[in-house]
């Protein structure tokens, strides 16, 4: 009883600070998250009902704390564990044995909701946007909320993501969109090829629009298309092939869902191989789309994740990243592009000696803090304006801010009929950085 009282007292104190936390989140462009209610289900398992403008009404999340959490002062790694379609945030504890499987692990497990279908994306809603904006809530609201409420290792070296079916695809696309948030991603029978015809056919058009009219949105959410962003993460793919005869099958017949899942995973696996991205590929043959295989998948993956958490996982020496958004931040690099229409842009080879940026429009790039503070640099730029050399001084945090011309902006969204008819254009700007003698800090970057 004393332990229960202490836990509830601590949670009440945390809830009392919700207004301050929401104000801070809004100031930082994060999704504001407040606590409607919290229930202690047992000594380890808590259930929150959270409020966020990204989701209509309260949204549930379950949190598994490690044994001895309250008696310890240590910080713990976090596994975000995602559910599949026709399921919810309770699935991994009610059906997946997540509590028993993690009983001896020094690990916090967070199991959020993402709706019964077409989750893990910010819904299109005919161009009006969310709610639900699941991705924005999960990555910019829930992650900071968990780090604020619990003693987490609050950076990528202590954060992993995994899921089953729809949640397996969600885990991979979240990791591809924010590789700087996670050190590892795992998928169990995951929908990791979003543009597979069978997946497109059953999708709710409110989520991403039609594939024909909103192809860019689909491609930007497809782990196969975005696979290059996953370089440097620990990746685990587990899938059956849907054929009968598996050791854990619920029924002795062909499982069409797992058959499609297998095709999707094979495409993703081959894409990762082509890119030279190391990953664990577990094609276990006959097996259906059911909980016995996902429970086994989690049990076999947890030791891999725990070993990964014990390793130092610094940012890559050279960053490459593709996004359809006009502004993004990754591994400390900041890109802002003024353009007329949505399209992919790619930051590549970004490091101490320079970078490349491909896209259209006017771009501002702020380097990661990898340069020598207060040092003067010779900056050689080649973009739509031609070649030029300028001198710039890195600020006290070792960053430079540079303006680049990527040529005239494409007037229509990439992959649209009008864009294809006009011919999509892009420019690759090249920037080389050469340190000179040390100077004064004349810039704030």
- The tens digit of pLDDT for each residue in 314-324 reads 889 999 999 99
Assign 445 a pLDDT band (cuts: 50, 70, 90).
low
Helix (H, G, I), strand (E, B) or coil at 280: strand
Residue 361 region, left (φ>0) first, then alpha (ψ -120 to 50), else beta?
A: left
Lowest-pLDDT choice from 3-17, 105-119, 130-144, 317-331: 3-17
Q: Give residue 25's pLDDT.
A: 44
- Cα 377 to the center of its chain, rounded Å: 34
> Can you list the positions of beta strands (E) in 65-183?
78-82, 108-112, 159-164
Q: Give residue 439's pLDDT.
A: 65
Tell me what percent of the residues of the chain surpass a pLDDT of 70. 91
pLDDT digits (tens, 9 = 90+) for 53-88: 999 999 999 999 999 999 999 999 999 999 999 999
Inter-residue contact 60 to 88 (CB < 8 Å)? yes
- CA-CA distance, 191 to 257, in Å (whole number)? 10
Q: Give residue 76's pLDDT.
A: 99
Q: What are phi and psi of 335, to 5 degrees?
A: -125, 130
- CA-CA distance, 116 to 204, in Å (whole number)? 11
Among 17, 313, 25, 45, which residue's Cα sits nearest to residue 142? Answer: 25
Inform me whether the pLDDT recorded for 23 exceeds 80.
Answer: no
Lowest-pLDDT choice from 111-120, 238-247, 248-257, 369-378: 248-257
Assign 359 a pLDDT band (cuts: 50, 70, 90).
very high
Q: Residue for token digits 């680049």?
A: 404
Segment 273-278 mean pLDDT: 98
Is the pTM of the predicted complex or chain greater than 0.85? Answer: yes
Assign 31 a pLDDT band (cuts: 50, 70, 90).
low
Helix (H, G, I), strand (E, B) or coil at 52: coil
Inform me whether the pLDDT recorded for 400 exceeds 50.
Answer: yes
Long-range CB pairs of 143-150, under 8 A, 24+ apart, other chains included = 143/80, 143/181, 144/25, 144/30, 144/33, 145/21, 145/33, 145/50, 146/63, 146/78, 146/108, 146/110, 148/14, 148/21, 149/14, 150/63, 150/65, 150/76, 150/78, 150/108
DSSP 76-94: B-EEEEE--TT--TTHHHH
Give the β-pairing of 280-283 and 319-323. unpaired
pLDDT digits (tens, 9 = 90+) for 407-434: 999 999 999 999 999 999 999 999 999 9
- CA-CA distance, 397 to 371, in Å (whole number)? 8
Assign 252 a pLDDT band (cuts: 50, 70, 90).
confident
Domains of the chain by start residue, with CATH: 2-309 (3.40.50.1820), 319-438 (no CATH)
């Amino acid at each position: 009883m004393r332990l229960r009282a202490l836990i509830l007292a601590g949670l009440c104190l945390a809830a009392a600070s919700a207004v301050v936390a929401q104000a801070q989140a809004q100031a930082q462009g994060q999704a504001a998250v407040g606590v409607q209610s919290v229930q202690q289900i047992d000594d380890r398992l808590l259930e929150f009902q959270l409020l966020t403008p990204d989701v209509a009404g309260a949204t549930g999340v379950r949190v598994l704390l490690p044994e001895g959490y309250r008696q310890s002062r240590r910080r713990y790694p976090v596994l975000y564990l995602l559910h599949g379609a026709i399921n919810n945030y309770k699935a991994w504890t009610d059906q997946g044995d997540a509590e028993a499987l993690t009983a001896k692990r020094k690990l916090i497990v967070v199991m959020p909701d993402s709706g019964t279908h077409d989750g893990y994306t910010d819904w299109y809603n005919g161009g009006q946007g969310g709610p639900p904006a699941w991705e924005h809530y999960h990555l910019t609201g829930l992650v900071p909320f968990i780090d604020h409420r619990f003693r987490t290792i609050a950076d990528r070296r202590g954060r992993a993501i995994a899921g089953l079916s729809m949640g397996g695809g969600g885990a991979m696309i979240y990791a591809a969109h924010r590789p700087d948030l996670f050190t590892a991603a795992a998928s169990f029978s995951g929908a990791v090829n979003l543009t597979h015809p069978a997946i497109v056919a059953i999708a709710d058009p409110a989520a991403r629009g039609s594939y024909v009219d909103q192809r860019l949105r689909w491609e930007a959410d497809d782990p196969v298309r975005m696979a290059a962003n996953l370089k440097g993460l620990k990746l685990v793919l587990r899938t059956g092939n849907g054929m009968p005869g598996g050791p854990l099958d619920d029924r002795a017949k062909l499982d069409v869902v797992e058959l499609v899942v297998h095709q999707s995973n094979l495409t993703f696996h081959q894409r990762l191989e082509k890119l030279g991205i190391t990953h664990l590929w577990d094609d276990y043959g006959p097996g259906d789309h059911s909980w016995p295989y996902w429970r086994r998948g989690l049990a076999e993956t947890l030791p891999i994740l725990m070993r990964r958490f014990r390793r130092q996982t610094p940012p890559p020496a050279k960053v490459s990243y593709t996004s359809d958004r006009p502004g993004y931040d990754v591994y400390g690099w900041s890109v802002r592009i003024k353009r007329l229409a949505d399209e992919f842009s790619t930051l590549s080879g970004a490091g101490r000696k320079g970078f490349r940026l491909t896209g259209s429009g006017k771009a501002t790039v702020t380097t990661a803090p990898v340069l020598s503070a207060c040092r003067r640099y010779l900056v050689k730029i080649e973009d739509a304006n031609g070649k030029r050399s300028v001198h710039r001084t890195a600020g006290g945090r070792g960053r430079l801010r540079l303006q680049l011309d990527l040529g005239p902006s494409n007037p229509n969204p990439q992959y649209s009929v009008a864009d294809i008819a006009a011919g999509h254009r892009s420019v690759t700007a090249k920037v080389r950085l050469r340190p000179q003698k040390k100077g004064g800090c004349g810039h704030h970057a």
